[in-house]
Structure 1
């Protein structure tokens, strides 16, 4: 069957169905991860293990999801996003189903941590990359709408999972959760294949490189798009996001504990995170709309929201009254939410849409270093100083440092957008396309 080739992203049409699919995919991946604390309590009681041992279930899952992202990107390059997402949905649902038969924590490590984690990697990276490929002018808004699934599901899943556990116990609840997760196959089926002009250029370039270097190492280098590791703007962007990621998860882990330390009861302390989550949801939509107005460069907007997020974190220790702490939490949630979709919207401008699968996979893997170190560092500072004041100040400092690194990206101090990798790299003569050809100016059909 003929497949249309677009000179640029269609910026709508079926793309909105891809956004809807990504909405449910982010909900069924990160919404489940954020709400898994309900099962955490049940596992601690049933297996009679320490909290630290049980915590490894979700920690392994998150680590596998992030470190497996380059593999997901490579599979998408070979087979397309649709089959990869559908297989990922099958694997993650199977992991949840097998976990319902668990007789030990090792069983849960392997089923939820390893199997579901791998499935989450094969779902998240292709779905967000597909949204970026379908949109250009409205990419930030589309990405923001896709990520609202995380906020809404965080509200809905925790009470839902608790209800399922109360009615069916944790084994029955995991069976139902696996059924919900299998809906990722339907979401994957909604991702129609999309061929862009840059895809043809990138695939021809890879073919030329592979013809020159036929050894296994060279094949892997091309498949995983490891040439991006020598692309300086991309690596500086990765460094910035890794620094930001180091401070990003600190409030999710320690804000409630900080509020309890200020003698606020557990319900008022927990309400801080609920308000932050609601503000996060609004921030994602607002920043997407703001970026797509075209009045400001996406990089400038990202630096703005990142800096405000860092400042709001540094102000947390000043919240001596509940009203002040609630206002600061709301500000943090809004700014952090506004920042998130812009990270994924800016990436194609740095590397080019033809490299989005490989770039997103490498970004996810490398930024995980910050996510893994941030919360333990914050806890160590709390143990060292006796309060969370230093922890939040240091977390805010990581955001501000990340903002400074973002300012080193090309054209940050001009009104022009950074050139993508395809324009920065030297294109071989045999891969250059005639500017007057139909491939650049019209939609054509490839058989």
Structure 2
């Protein structure tokens, strides 16, 4: 009787549709495109602080050596180079480590405030670094403050964008991730023009003026619930619920959610993704820090180094767009799994790292830079969309924050270790980075095989039935049915059949006939053994993708 108004037009109700209120509304456009543009700029500014560190590495070494009166080509000079490598690695590690903090703040509905304050701290960190005279001052200002703030700026934009798009999420992620390549290309030129011409202090102050734009980006992050068709009804129900809670439960006894929700860490797919990301982080990002330094040792002039950094940024943006188009506009004749895309990008990074150990001449560096940049952009994009495929959307934001946090310590350790090896054995440190990258790519095979089993331990995961209309459309045999195991996997696609001449009884309604071979993701429980094909007529193929 409750559902008659949905099926009979004459009895259709005009009041609030409670089914739509329970679901999260994705505008799939509108103000979301403004948030996408803001996310592109946020990614650009964050990459300017971490990934465009190549030329800033050289300027920081000369600045600290001049203040400490250290002569070139001495033991103190080499120690200064390794110390500045710790500076860049610390900034990038703090940026990744701030991802779980950004998720926790956004869950507390502090998204806009967190983005605005992070933009302000990011600019202040760069300003304080311009007055630094010693290494420990740079570690605090550039490494800690600017690194953590840039991570908050990047992640708040990504989390807000995830509230606006679901069907187009892969496309908007492609656009936003391309901002990292644009940041490497633009700010490498700007570092050369500002710091190279005006000096360390005035150059970083000019960079601070550009980083102040991150302060205004947070003002554009509107909540997606403002565009819900039944926003007034939702607001009314929330107000009524608050009044009831205040009457029934005292304020000091109301349950509070934990600041860091560790529920995604119980999922096996998240654990394996964190392991693969941590192992790969030992060597994936090493050329971003040492490419300009190695080119300077090879005798390349400053203009050639700027061109190499610009090519690196353009190649990274091109890699994001190229791999993104393979995911967004997948062809029916050639389907490539996201796992294989990510592994192919990591293998390409390993090949470029192997070539960096023996490359000579400017043109050789240009070739390797384009190969590494395209594969790096493809890795950054494809690894995130592969995590989207492995983890349910309900837990993805928190899970992705932990995956990025797992990369922090390996990145902090791997970059200086590569520098130490390169000093003792020239260009041999890239072999260590290559081994770590290929090991991370091999671990993704384990993620692909065990990602669907991780939801059995989480309520509401892939091991449980979906809610809403999908629950009625997804047939699940009874646990006591003959030949049914309790908890195996369900294939991606299943063809169901039923007799068409007579109304089927309840026990054979939607009896499965055959299953598809592909198995990237799954829902529900597996079917009983296939019945005879002659007794049934195939009527539809149901795909259990989310």
- Give TM class, smaller chain: 0.7 to 0.9
For residue 47 of structure 2, the aligned residue among 23, 30, 34 is 30
Residue deviations 1:400-430, cap 9 Å, x none? 2212111112458xxxxx65977862239xx
Q: Which runs of 5+ in 1 are unaligned?
A: 201-210, 413-417, 438-447
Q: Give the secondary-structure state (helix, strand or coil) at the position aligned to 1:311.
A: helix
Aligned residues: 411
Query: CA shift at 1:236, angstroms?
Result: 0.7
CA RMSD of aligned residues (A): 3.9
Query: CA shift at 1:395, angstroms?
Result: 2.2
1:337 aligns with 2:377: yes
Provide closer, same or farther for how the CA distance between residues 165 and 327 of structure 1 changes in structure 2, counting only shifts above 3 A: closer
1:40 aligns with 2:48: no
Residue deviations 1:56-93, cap 9 Å, x none? 54444333322232222211111242222112112222
Residue 351 of structure 1 contacts residue 421 of structure 1 at CA under 8 Å; is this kept in 2?
no
The match for 1:160 is 190
Provide closer, same or farther for how the CA distance between residues 315 and 71 of structure 1 changes in structure 2, counting only shifts above 3 A: same
1:241 aligns with 2:281: no
The match for 1:427 is 460
CA distance in 1, matches of 2:201, 2:327: 44
The match for 2:327 is 291
Query: CA shift at 1:367, angstroms?
Result: 0.7
The match for 1:403 is 441
Query: CA shift at 1:286, angstroms?
Result: 1.0
For residue 387 of structure 1, the aligned residue among 414, 426, 439 is 426
Provide closer, same or farther for how the CA distance between residues 123 and 407 of structure 1 changes in structure 2, counting only shifts above 3 A: same
Q: Give the secondary-structure state (helix, strand or coil) at the position aligned to 1:224.
A: coil
For residue 81 of structure 1, the aligned residue among 111, 115, 124 is 111
Provide closer, same or farther for how the CA distance between residues 272 and 57 of structure 1 changes in structure 2, counting only shifts above 3 A: closer
For residue 184 of structure 1, the aligned residue among 197, 210, 214 is 214
Q: Which runs of 5+ in 2 are unaligned?
A: 1-19, 70-79, 229-233, 235-248, 471-546
CA distance in 2, matches of 1:10, 1:301: 29
Compute the TM-score of the two structures, normalised by the length of structure 2.
0.65
1:129 aligns with 2:169: no
CA distance in 2, matches of 1:14, 1:88: 22
Provide closer, same or farther for how the CA distance between residues 373 and 346 of structure 1 changes in structure 2, counting only shifts above 3 A: same
Q: Give the secondary-structure state (helix, strand or coil) at the position aligned to 2:108.
A: helix
Structure of higher RCO (CA pairs closer than 8 Å, 6+ residues apart):
1
Residue 49 of structure 2 contacts residue 146 of structure 2 at CA under 8 Å; is this kept in 1?
no
Residue 74 of structure 1 contacts residue 357 of structure 1 at CA under 8 Å; is this kept in 2?
no
Residue 48 of structure 2 contacts residue 187 of structure 2 at CA under 8 Å; is this kept in 1?
yes
1:230 aligns with 2:266: yes
Alignment of 1:247-286 (within 5 A): 247-256=283-292, 268=304, 271-286=307-322
Query: CA shift at 1:283, angstroms?
Result: 0.8
For residue 34 of structure 2, the aligned residue among 5, 17, 21 is 17
CA distance in 1, matches of 2:112, 2:348: 37
Provide closer, same or farther for how the CA distance between residues 62 and 313 of structure 1 changes in structure 2, counting only shifts above 3 A: closer
Residue deviations 1:333-363, cap 9 Å, x none? 2112111112222333333333334223322
Query: CA shift at 1:116, angstroms?
Result: 2.4
Query: CA shift at 1:249, angstroms?
Result: 2.0
Query: CA shift at 1:434, angstroms?
Result: 5.1
Residue 139 of structure 1 contacts residue 292 of structure 1 at CA under 8 Å; is this kept in 2?
no
The match for 2:351 is 311
Provide closer, same or farther for how the CA distance between residues 310 and 134 of structure 1 changes in structure 2, counting only shifts above 3 A: farther
Query: CA shift at 1:9, angstroms?
Result: 4.1
**Greater displacement, 89-98 / 45-54:** 45-54
Residue 125 of structure 1 contacts residue 360 of structure 1 at CA under 8 Å; is this kept in 2?
no
The match for 2:404 is 364
The match for 1:206 is none
Query: CA shift at 1:12, angstroms?
Result: 3.2
Residue deviations 1:348-385, cap 9 Å, x none? 3333333334223322221112212222332343345x
Residue deviations 1:242-297, cap 9 Å, x none? 22221112222344555566676665566444433322221111111111124433
Q: Kindly indicate which of the two structures has a greater share of residues assigned to helix.
A: 1
